[in-house]
Chain A
Amino acid sequence: MYLNYLRTLADIAAVYYIVYRLILLLKGTRAMQVIWGVSILAVITAVAQLFRLSATVWLMQQFWVAGMVLLIVVFQPEIRFALANIGSNPLGRVMVSQEYKFIGEMMEAVRSAAAEKMGMLIVLEQDMALRDIVETGVRINGEISKELLLTVFHENTLLHDGAAVIANNRLVAAGCILPLTEQQELSKILGMRHRAALGLSEVADAIIIIVSEETGALAVARNGKLQQHADPKDLEDMLYQLYRSKAEKTLLRRAPRAEAQAPRADNQSQA
């Protein structure tokens, strides 16, 4: 008797967990809109069955047979991603930790550039896409490594004068041209590189890392503010924290965008 109830509870709990995970996986993707449509049809089918409306039930059954095949074809990429996600780790953490491996490589490049006084201008794309900026440079779309970044910014190369754009954990383009800032009160010592970084940070939410060619000092620009003489260690910590919280946000979709950005601004002032 009690065993039966227990079994029912376990059954419902398992279904609940699977449904919850599925919604989390699909939320925010274009699949979600379709899911809503399908849910409404499911409700209609259920109501029709409840009231024994034979013709409606028949029509709905025809849809489910044809519709399911259609849905699988249309959402083949999403289904593949979801299955790969389940296979790698139920929480997807393994995937996430690999995703911000690039920060370490990038910071190593930044450190050696600072030590050698090699000018560097790296743009980290955030929520706002930087397609216009990428178009002004040369597309690379390469995996980020210390060597690649140091090569791109080596002064005898064609691309060293512009900015390198990093998006989705890849070096998307190099030699990109950034808009210059209009701020007049900017120190005369700051060169074009800093002005360009500040200029982009005024119009986009990107994080821009600058290594000065003259002093080798590290600076970070964000939200129209320039943080000079930033500590590489602090910057690295801040970036890890930022990307981790971003990954969690994507994974759980728990916080509205405004809430998630507030702590990021605090981190920025610490760096």
Chain B
Amino acid sequence: MNVPELFTRNWQIKLLSLIISLLIWYFITGGRP
């Protein structure tokens, strides 16, 4: 698996995961690092 493929494959799922993880992080920490 080369690098561009790593980013393009399943990109919808990756985007969804990113959004979910950001939401989780936001609600757990309240947005403070």
Per-position contact with A for B22-33: 1 when CB-CB < 8 Å, else 0?
Answer: 111101010001
Residues on A with C-beta less than 8 A from B13 are 20, 23-24, 27
Residue A129 at the B interface, CB < 8 A?
A: no
Most B C-beta atoms less than 10 A away, residue of A4, A16, A17, A18: A16
| Contact among A8, A19, A253 with B17 in the assembled complex (CB-CB below 8 Å) | A19
Contact A254 B17 (CB under 8 A): no
Contact A11 B25 (CB under 8 A): yes
Q: How far is the CB of B30 from chain A (nearest CB, A)?
A: 11
- Bound CA–CA A8/B20 (angstroms): 15
Contact A16 B17 (CB under 8 A): yes
Interface size on B, residues (CB 8 A): 16
Most A C-beta atoms less than 10 A away, residue of B14, B16, B21: B21
Interface size on A, residues (CB 8 A): 21
Residues on A with C-beta less than 8 A from B33 are 4-5, 7-8
Q: How far is the CB of A37 from chain B (nearest CB, A)?
A: 15
Q: How far is the CB of A75 from chain B (nearest CB, A)?
A: 18
Residue B10 at the A interface, CB < 8 A?
A: yes
Residues on B with C-beta less than 8 A from A11 are 25
- Bound CA–CA A8/B25 (angstroms): 9
Q: How far is the CB of B24 from chain A (nearest CB, A)?
A: 5
Q: How far is the CB of A210 from chain B (nearest CB, A)?
A: 37
Q: How far is the CB of B2 from chain A (nearest CB, A)?
A: 14
- Bound CA–CA A15/B25 (angstroms): 8
Residue A40 at the B interface, CB < 8 A?
A: no
Known contacts: A7-B33, A254-B10. The answer to whether A16 contacts B18 by CB under 8 A is yes
Binding site for A on B (CB under 8 A): 9-10, 13-14, 16-18, 20-25, 27, 29, 33
Binding site for B on A (CB under 8 A): 4-5, 7-8, 11-12, 15-20, 23-24, 27, 39, 46, 49, 252-254
What would 19 more interface pairs be, CB under 8 Å, given A7-B33, A15-B25, A20-B13?
Answer: A4-B33, A5-B33, A8-B29, A11-B25, A12-B25, A15-B24, A16-B18, A16-B21, A17-B17, A18-B21, A19-B20, A19-B21, A20-B17, A23-B16, A24-B10, A46-B27, A252-B10, A254-B9, A254-B10
Could you write out 10 A-B pairs with CB less than 8 Å apart? Answer: A11-B25, A17-B17, A19-B21, A20-B17, A23-B13, A24-B10, A39-B20, A46-B27, A253-B10, A254-B10
